[in-house]
Amino acid sequence: MANITYIEADGTSAQVNVPDGWSLMQAATANGIEGILGECGGSCACATCHCYVDGLLMSVLPAPSATELDMLDNVAAERRPNSRLACQIKASAALDGGTVQLPETQE
């Protein structure tokens, strides 16, 4: 379980307890986080789950796969060094306390 804070582009935030093994995209869509769409259902094929991860998450997450990097080329909003796809981030205790900022747009 990881307690993750999602911050929408308008500054509103929500904390979600994400079960181990769930992706941060799954948890967002299941909890009404509007800034993540997840249109492809998590198969790394739509880039509508773009998020900006904080320093804690940057330090514990494995590097993005080649597929994720390819899809990050297609995000609608500005791509930043801390851009990731939320469907490719699986929750575990190591992520507890992390924050993801959501972009202005996903499409």
Among 2, 18, 24, 49, binds ligand FES (CB under 6 A): 49
- Residue 29 half-sphere exposure toward CB, CA atoms < 13 A: 16
Q: Which is nearer to ligand FES, 11 or 66 (CB)?
A: 66
Q: Which is nearer to ligand FES, 38 or 103 (CB)?
A: 38
User: Whats the size of the chain, residue-wise?
Assistant: 107
Which amino acid, one-letter code, is at 46? C
Q: What is the DSSP letter of 23?
A: B
Among 6, 48, 89, 101, binds ligand FES (CB under 6 A): 48
Question: Given the rule CB under 6 A, which of 8-16, 39-47, 75-83, 90-98 is the region that contacts ligand FES?
Answer: 39-47
The answer to whether 17 and 11 have CB atoms below 8 angstroms apart is no
Give me 56's structure tokens.
């804690």
Interface with ligand FES (CB under 6 A): 25, 38-40, 42, 44-49, 71, 85, 87
